Amino acid sequence: MDIKRDDNGHKGAFFIEQDGERVGEMTYTMAGKSRMIIDHTEVGDSLRGTGAGKKLVIAGVEYARENDLRVLPLCPFAKAVIDKTPELQDVL
């Protein structure tokens, strides 16, 4: 499962494509230079039950670590994933 990132400066997304269409996406907004707000996570029916949503959240956390960012998970799904996974909580 290949996760890509789209960034337009202050907003962006981590996404999964199949046949040229986005079938999974986690969007974020930058709040200043040091905080990434995860707004929304959505996975299409073709990816349900595959762990794709969690992989998108993990990709966002890894990006935050690489760029010394703090994460504010406003998306309920992303918040649940981070809350249940102690090794992801260092970015909070």
Question: What are the residue ranges spanned by the domains of the chain?
Answer: 3-91
- 4-18: pLDDT as tens digits: 999 998 999 999 999
Whether the full predicted model's pTM is greater than 0.85, yes or no, is yes
Is beta strand 11-18 parallel, antiparallel or unpaired with respect to 21-31?
antiparallel
Q: Name the pLDDT band for 91 (thresholds 50, 70, 90).
A: very high
Q: Name the pLDDT band for 59 (thresholds 50, 70, 90).
A: very high
**Sign of dihedral through CA atoms 9, 12, 16, 20?**
negative
Tokens in use for 75? 């998306």
Please give the CATH topology (third level) of the domain spanning 3-91. Aminopeptidase (3.40.630)
